[in-house]
Structures are given as C-alpha cells and as structure tokens.
Amino acid sequence: MEQPLKATLSRRTFLAGSAVAAAAAGLTLAGCGGGGQSSSSGSGSGAKGVKVGVSMPTKSLQRWNQDGANMQEKLKAKGYEVDLQFAENKVETQVSQIENMITKGCKVIIVGAIDGGSLSSVLDEAKNAGVKVISYDRLIMNTDAVNYYATFDNYGVGKIQGQYIEQKLGLKDGKGPFNFEITTGPLDDNNVVFFFKGAMDVLQPYIDKGQLVVKSGQMSREQCATPNWDEAKAQERMDNILTTYYTNAKLDAVLCSNDSTSLGVQSALKSAGYNSADKPMPLVTGQDANLPNVKAILAGEQAMSVFKDTRALADEVVKMVDAMLNGQEPEVNDTKSYNNGVKVIPSYLLQPQFVDKSNYKDLLIDSGYYKEADLQK
C-alpha cells in the first residue's frame, strides 16, 4: 500500500478533520453507591468513594460493551465508585438512567448519547445539581451542560476509508470505472456528519470524473442513512439496491460507515451470489474492528475496518474526570471545532487506524486487544 495510507493519521489529516468539524457542527452493574473498589490508591486526591456515572447507548454492539467495561475498570482502579448503565437504544431509558445517576449523587456523568439532540433537559438537571458532564464519542447537542468531549477523529475515520478505497482500486492511477455504493449511519448521530465528509472529500472527485459510478444514485447522507446503525436495516437497503440496480451489473466497492452496517451489507451481497469464485466480494469497508468483522476480514468478506482503541479513549476520559474533580483543567487538543449549537465544547480527539489482513496481528493481537484464540471461535 502506498505511503499516504498510514496506520495512524498525520497531523495534517487531523487538522483537516478539525476544520470540517467546525463547519459541520454550525451488564447493568451496581448503583453509584455499590460498585466495588480496587486496592489502588487512586489519584491520591480523594477519588476513593466518589461516584461516577457511565451511560452507554446499548449492549447490542460489541464496541459499547468494550467502552463501558474499559471505563469501569479504569475508574475503579482510581478508586471511584462506578454506575455503568446501558439504555438499549431507547432515549427515554437513557434519560431515566441519567436522572437516577444525578439522584444517587454522581459527581461526573460520562454519556455516550443515543440521540445527541434529546438529552438537553436531563443534562440541564445535571448542571443545576453541580454534576460535570463528559460527552463520549458522540457530541451531545443543544445544551451548555456539557463540559468536555472525548472522541476519535471522525473526519479521519471517513478519510481513512476513502483513502483505502482510493488506493486499493487504483483510482489515483486513473483506473475505473467501478460500481460503488455508500452506507452511512443514523441522521441523529453527529459523528456521521464528520465521517461522511471525510470519506467524500476523498471519493467525490472520482465520482465526478466517472471513475466511481453510484448506480443507485443514492449519494446524500439522508439517502444512505441506517437508523440506529441497524444491521438488518443495512441489509434490507442493500438487498433493494442489488435487486433494482445490479441484476446485470457487478458491484465493486461499498463504503460502510461502521461494522454493523458492514455485516448487513455483506449478508445482502452473499444472498445475491457474491463471495464465490465467479462473483468475488466487492471491497467492503467498516469501522470499529469488532470481532465478527475481523473474522470477516480474515475470511476475505470485508476488506478493512477502522480500529479505534477504546482503551486509549477510556484513559483520556479518566484523566478528564480526575482533573475536573480536583479543580484542574483537563487536557484537550481541540478548542475550536466542536460547536454543539450552544457553545464550543473543549475536546480531546484520538487518532484512528486502519486494520486489514496486513496489520491485524500488530494492532489487535500483539497489543492485547484480542487474543488469537478469539478469532478461531
């Protein structure tokens, strides 16, 4: 693979993502009082016994289980009591869980929002109660109650996928035309704005030149959206596209904004006869490096995924919690880009990495993220 596609994004890519962000933004466990504490002395600043709430959107996606477990482990190691809750993609459940965290006396609440625009009222309650709020992964919109934002560079996620398609298809060398389709996430997830922009900044010029042909004509975020990142809905949409536009044509590549939508697309493709000697799988992308998708990569059914090491993100969130509860300013690396409609949220952005057959051992196995045995199950 040629030099521009690196395992980590360059600072230039990061700055580009920040600029786009500015434009685009215009296991239920013990309650807060019940989590077991580690023998660690914590931060040495009274963390022991302080209550922290962690509100995750759902347990139905592997990545959210990992995110929640990583934060719980690291917060407990610091001596915090942790209330980890999953809302099963129901906004009203997440609101109720956050209300309970406020009532139980959590001093900080970390929120991975289901719908970034539906939590302003309950977070106003948190602010009025003196509770600090960290927006996790997905930017929470339309409230001044959010203190900080921790996420990966979502523009960079899209750009990595776009560059991967660009290089694997030889688009820079003028190759094509290739038939190409797009699958994105829900319209209420602000991350999709950045992802889509990052990917299309790379790929749109090739669509304009005719090297990439979207036979369905579906190229807007609205047309390509997948509610709740739902695998079955992604499969249904791709089934319809294949039946309508590809009866006598071959699909060469599909941009999938995350791994659940990628699995849905792969199911539709296999139902249409792809993944055979006569009809090989198109180049299919993804995001999150979930275990089923890594297996699909090794099986040749998915070309790549974007790996976001949630252990590193959890580390940064714990640092934010420590700083806020000790009257300090948390470390951030972006203070201009993420405007939630009320204010610019100081943010810490981590850099994503692509993973495919060529580097999965280095990134996923040698780092301890997965065990080789996990891939054999």
Tens of pLDDT along 120-158?
999 999 999 999 999 999 999 999 999 999 999 999 999
Task: Determine, yes or no, domain membership for 370.
Answer: no
pLDDT digits (tens, 9 = 90+) for 251-306: 999 999 999 999 999 999 999 999 999 999 999 999 999 999 999 999 999 999 99
Q: What is the pLDDT of residue 290?
A: 94
Domain annotation covers residue 14: no
Residues 299, 314 share a domain: no
The predicted structure's pLDDT at residue 190:
87
- Domain containing 44 equals 31-146+309-351
pLDDT in tens, 185-196: 999 888 999 999
- Residue-wise pLDDT for 64-96, tens only, equals 999 999 999 999 999 999 999 999 999 999 999
The angle, 0 to 180 degrees and rounded to 10, between the axes of the packed helices 291-298 and 259-271 is 50
Task: Read off the pLDDT band of 13 (50, 70, 90).
Answer: very low
At 4 the pLDDT is 40
Q: Are residue 184 and residue 227 in the same domain, yes or no?
A: yes
Does residue 177 share a domain with residue 107? Answer: no
pTM here? 0.83
Q: Are residues 70 and 104 in the same domain?
A: yes
Q: Are residues 116 and 247 in the same domain?
A: no
Classify residue 82 by its DSSP letter.
E
CATH at residue 263: 3.40.50.2300
What are the tokens at 20? Answer: 């786009």
How large is the average pLDDT for residues 102-115? Answer: 97
36 and 69 in a single domain? The answer is: yes
Task: Identify which has the larger pLDDT, 166 or 189.
Answer: 166
User: 32 pLDDT band (50/70/90 cuts)?
Assistant: very low
Which pLDDT score, from 0 to 100, does residue 45 have? 52
Confirm whether 360 is domain-assigned: no
Does residue 12 carry a pLDDT above 80? no
Q: How many domains does the chain have?
A: 2
Same-domain check for residues 202 and 233: yes
Cβ-proximal residues to 311 (8 Å cutoff; 6+ apart), any chain: 70, 369
- Look at residue 98 and tell me if it is in a domain: yes
**Position 250 in a domain:** yes
> Does residue 22 sit within a domain?
no
Verify that 74 and 40 share a domain, yes or no: yes
pLDDT at residue 377, rounded to an integer: 81
Cα–Cα distances in angstroms (integers) from residue 195 to residues 25, 147, 164, 322, in the given order? 12, 23, 14, 30
Is residue 188 in some structural domain? yes
Q: What is the pLDDT of residue 62?
A: 84
Report yes or no on 285 lying in a domain.
Answer: yes
Mark whether 176 and 251 lie in a shared domain. Answer: yes
332 vs 348: CA distance, rounded Å: 5
* Residues 59, 372 contacting (CB under 8 angstroms): no
Q: Are strands 305-307 and 353-355 parallel, antiparallel or unpaired?
A: antiparallel
User: Which pLDDT value is given to residue 29?
Assistant: 34
Is 262 found in the same domain as 190?
yes
| Residue type, position 41, single letter | S
User: Given 244, 273, 307, which residue is the final one in a domain?
Assistant: 307
Whether pLDDT at 31 is above 50: no
What are 301-359's pLDDT values in tens digits?
A: 999 999 999 999 999 999 999 999 999 999 999 999 899 999 999 999 999 999 999 99
Cα 246 from Cα 173, distance rounded (Å): 26
Report the C-alpha gap between 115 and 185 in whole angstroms.
12
- Across the chain, mean pLDDT equals 89
CB 243 within 8 A of CB 217: no
pLDDT at 47: 75
Q: Are residues 87 and 102 in the same domain?
A: yes
- State the pLDDT at residue 358: 98
What pLDDT is recorded for position 54? 98
Same domain, 303 and 158: yes
3-state secondary structure 242-298: HHHHCCCCCCCEEEECCHHHHHHHHHHHHHCCCCCCCCCCCEECCCCCCHHHHHHHH
- Nearest in space to 161 (alpha carbons), one of 139, 140, 136, 180: 180
Query: Under a CB-based contact definition with an 8 Å cutoff, are residues 76 and 21 in contact?
Result: no
